[in-house]
Structure 1
Amino acid sequence: MVAPEHTGTVDPGGAPPATAEPAPAPAPTGPPRNRLTDRIGSVEVLAALLILLIALREPLAALLSAPSLATWTTVFVSVMVQAVPFLVFGVLLSAVIAVFVPRSFWARALPRHPALAVPVASAAGVVLPGCECGSVPIAGSLIRRGVTPAAALAFLLAAPAINPIVLTATAVAFPANPEMVLGRAVASLIVAVIMGWLWLRLGRTDWIRLPHRPDLDDARRGVAFWSAVRHDIVHAGGFLVIGAAAAASINVLVPERWLQALADEPVLAVLAMAVLAVLLSICSEADAFVAASLSQFSLTARLTFLVVGPMVDLKLISMQAGIFGRGFAARFAPATFVVAVIVAAVTGMVLL
């Protein structure tokens, strides 16, 4: 007799073959998901805020009726209403330049001699404008494409200050003082050229870290365009709100006699407005309206505010440090501040 064959394996103790069982499903490692919080987004938050405002409309109306808060609201809303159209238009132009203008165009358009390329690149800010939020990454792209750093940095400083959008906004903000437009254009162009030439003389290429902006390198230009628009409008719009709120707060909280005492000292007024421009970090398409609201100060002091702001402020220093490196920002920003204050003060004394 032949023993039957077993298809499975038999252990030495004669136990029947083990059958394979499916492995248990792994237990979830994270906390249980809440379906309610998963459905809460920006639309739901906005709806909740609107409902809250409706419910509290009477206490809010009583609060806003206070004279000081009414003045604050008036100044804030007036700055925002006047500045937002210029900000949006400037951001759209900046995105068009960053995405649709070929980066190799600049290398072909600029003179080969670096000393001549600096003033040409500075003047190009009139033809191809962009706000400071867009000019920093554009300047980095120019350097990456082979444009001499001095020319790219001159464009970085000039474009946010002398482009048609900014000059038009300045004319609208100062309807009784058209010389402010000329003073801003001349002083800003001089500062950009001086800083470009100073970089040729004293700058070192190892201070600059070559930039990378992946949202502008997208193969689909439409996607890159809207990405640039969203990026710049969020950053520039946020700083505009902060700047408008700060300007309104200065008008309400700071006693008039303090501002007047500071404004009566020409040197202190110029320095105070220069420091204020750095701290407020307002987009260049909107800063003229904030400067116009500070009517206690002289035109020269407010011109200093308009020249310094688009070239040296907190957001620009942080952007320059992130794109070009901390070593570059630590050297370039203070030098630009000093040159801008001196040139703006001299220009104001001559033209205003």
Structure 2
Amino acid sequence: MQLLFAGLIGLALFAGTVRAFLVGRPDLAKAATVFCGVFVQALPFLAFGVVISGLIATYLSPDRLARWLPRRTGVAILTAGVGGAALPGCECGAVPAARRLFGDGRSRDRQGAAALTFMLAAPAINPVVLVSTAVAFPGEPVMVGARFTASLLTALTMGLMWSRWGRAEWITRRLPRPPHSGGSKWTVFSEAARHDFLQAASYLVLGAATAAALNVLMPPTVYEHLAGQLLLGILTMAILAFVLALCSEADAFVAASLTMLPLLPRLVFLVVGPAVDAKLLAMQAGVFGRPFASRFAPATFVVATVVATVVGLFFLGGAR
């Protein structure tokens, strides 16, 4: 946090120097404009999201969620998926919460399948993410419905697949201890919100910088080729979503900045990112265990890409 504030103060003090340096350098000026546009638009949604995640960590325990689950596995999976829409938060916080919700039961029980469904649904279809998507794509409201549908179907599909083929021996990590269990509620809230903000903001900076670089460094012919090759564009954006590892509350602004690509590949980017990316793979390996992550992450990548493509063809059709 101290480094963050020091960096902000430094940028404020040397704003004139930076502005003078950019004068006469149109490429750098364009990159700076894209970076600031993406970051400034996404920051309010990110801040609101981490406040909500802090409140969830303080007042809504995974054990309480487990007691609310229906007894039938299919209904429990559907409940966990739809319930994720009401719990805004970053995917970074969804992984440890899902591990606590998973418990120590058998892999095929309703609690484990519902926990994984919640882990995929909560950061992808909550109100903060949907509102940020609507703001990022003001002229394409269908993107909100397409993202919601594809992300929810991805979460439900993975929950059902786990209930059918999951194995308890893949979970090799023990349950983590609740953070700050002996502290006050304000301590739990502030620490959870601070952790989520710093981690998510760092990935937002990386994503905004990458979007700026893609707008300046990549020749227009590359995007024209991707726009003309739909399948290649879909695969490229799916891989890009995995590599960039953006926060789900901010990725819509990065996708919206790539105006040279059709809507369908950008929808795939928005669906794959919150479901599986480089940081989530590392977190799943640390929280659930490597045997789980090595199976669950690749399967999620394939399912999210296929589901987003099918849903996108249905919702977007011939949209640009």
Q: Report the equivalent of 1:71.
A: 30
For residues 129-154 of structure 1, what are the alpha-carbon distances to aligned partners after superposition, in whole Å with 9 as ceiling and x for unaligned? 22201111111121238671110000
Q: Residues 137 and 213 of structure 1 are in contact (CA less than 8 Å); yes or no, is this contact kept in structure 2?
A: no
Looking at structure 1, the residues matched to 136 and 7 of structure 2 have their Cα atoms a distance apart, in angstroms, of: 32
Alignment partner for residue 120 of structure 2, among 134, 151, 157? 157
Runs of 4+ in 1 over 4 A off after TM superposition: 41-52, 57-60
For residues 308-350 of structure 1, what are the alpha-carbon distances to aligned partners after superposition, in whole Å with 9 as ceiling and x for unaligned? 0001111111111111111111111100000000000000100
Specify whether residues 212 and 178 from structure 1 end up closer, same or farther in structure 2 by C-alpha distance, changes over 3 A only.
same
Amino acid at match of 2:128: I
For residues 223-282 of structure 1, what are the alpha-carbon distances to aligned partners after superposition, in whole Å with 9 as ceiling and x for unaligned? 111111111111100000001000110010000111111121010010111111111111
Q: Residues 171 and 180 of structure 1 are in contact (CA less than 8 Å); yes or no, is this contact kept in structure 2?
A: yes
How does 1:267-286 map onto structure 2 within 5 Å?
A: 267-286=231-250
Give structure 1 stretches of 5+ with no counterpart. 1-40
Q: Residues 247 and 290 of structure 1 are in contact (CA less than 8 Å); yes or no, is this contact kept in structure 2?
A: yes
Looking at structure 2, the residues matched to 187 and 324 of structure 1 have their Cα atoms a distance apart, in angstroms, of: 25
Alignment partner for residue 211 of structure 2, among 237, 247, 256? 247
How does 1:65-104 map onto structure 2 within 5 Å?
A: 65-104=24-63
Alignment partner for residue 176 of structure 1, among 139, 160, 163? 139
Q: Residues 62 and 98 of structure 2 are in contact (CA less than 8 Å); yes or no, is this contact kept in structure 1?
A: no
Richer in helix (by share) = 2
Q: Residues 91 and 123 of structure 2 are in contact (CA less than 8 Å); yes or no, is this contact kept in structure 1?
A: yes
Amino acid at match of 1:161: A
Alignment partner for residue 323 of structure 1, among 250, 272, 287? 287
Percent identical: 51
Give the match's secondary structure for 1:215: coil
Alignment partner for residue 195 of structure 1, among 158, 165, 168? 158
Looking at structure 2, the residues matched to 114 and 321 of structure 1 have their Cα atoms a distance apart, in angstroms, of: 25
Offset at residue 102 of structure 1 (A): 3.3
Q: Residues 63 and 100 of structure 2 are in contact (CA less than 8 Å); yes or no, is this contact kept in structure 1?
A: no
Specify whether residues 255 and 111 from structure 1 end up closer, same or farther in structure 2 by C-alpha distance, changes over 3 A only.
same
Offset at residue 216 of structure 1 (A): 5.1
Q: Report the equivalent of 2:88.
A: 129
Q: Report the equivalent of 2:21.
A: 62
Ranked by relative contact order (alpha carbons within 8 Å, sequence separation 6 or more), the top structure is 2
Looking at structure 2, the residues matched to 286 and 104 of structure 1 have their Cα atoms a distance apart, in angstroms, of: 29
Q: Residues 103 and 112 of structure 2 are in contact (CA less than 8 Å); yes or no, is this contact kept in structure 1?
A: no
Q: Report the equivalent of 1:35.
A: none
Alignment partner for residue 14 of structure 2, among 53, 66, 73? 53
Q: Report the equivalent of 1:336.
A: 300
Q: Report the equivalent of 1:148.
A: 111
Looking at structure 1, the residues matched to 306 and 103 of structure 2 have their Cα atoms a distance apart, in angstroms, of: 31
Q: Report the equivalent of 1:17.
A: none
Larger radius of gyration: 1
TM-score normalised to the size of structure 2?
A: 0.91
Offset at residue 94 of structure 1 (A): 1.2
Answer yes or no: is 1:113 the counterpart of 2:77: no
Deviates further, 63-72 or 334-343: 63-72
Amino acid at match of 1:132: E
Q: Residues 218 and 224 of structure 1 are in contact (CA less than 8 Å); yes or no, is this contact kept in structure 2?
A: no
Looking at structure 1, the residues matched to 149 and 79 of structure 2 have their Cα atoms a distance apart, in angstroms, of: 14
Specify whether residues 228 and 347 from structure 1 end up closer, same or farther in structure 2 by C-alpha distance, changes over 3 A only.
same
Looking at structure 2, the residues matched to 317 and 180 of structure 1 have their Cα atoms a distance apart, in angstroms, of: 26
Specify whether residues 118 and 46 from structure 1 end up closer, same or farther in structure 2 by C-alpha distance, changes over 3 A only.
closer
Q: Residues 51 and 193 of structure 2 are in contact (CA less than 8 Å); yes or no, is this contact kept in structure 1?
A: yes
Specify whether residues 107 and 59 from structure 1 end up closer, same or farther in structure 2 by C-alpha distance, changes over 3 A only.
closer
Amino acid at match of 2:191: S
Specify whether residues 134 and 65 from structure 1 end up closer, same or farther in structure 2 by C-alpha distance, changes over 3 A only.
farther
Deviates further, 244-253 or 110-119: 110-119
Deviates further, 43-52 or 218-227: 43-52
Looking at structure 1, the residues matched to 95 and 60 of structure 2 have their Cα atoms a distance apart, in angstroms, of: 16
Looking at structure 2, the residues matched to 189 and 48 of structure 1 have their Cα atoms a distance apart, in angstroms, of: 41
Looking at structure 2, the residues matched to 294 and 47 of structure 1 have their Cα atoms a distance apart, in angstroms, of: 27
Q: Report the equivalent of 1:22.
A: none
Looking at structure 1, the residues matched to 267 and 23 of structure 2 have their Cα atoms a distance apart, in angstroms, of: 33
For residues 67-89 of structure 1, what are the alpha-carbon distances to aligned partners after superposition, in whole Å with 9 as ceiling and x for unaligned? 00000000000000100000011
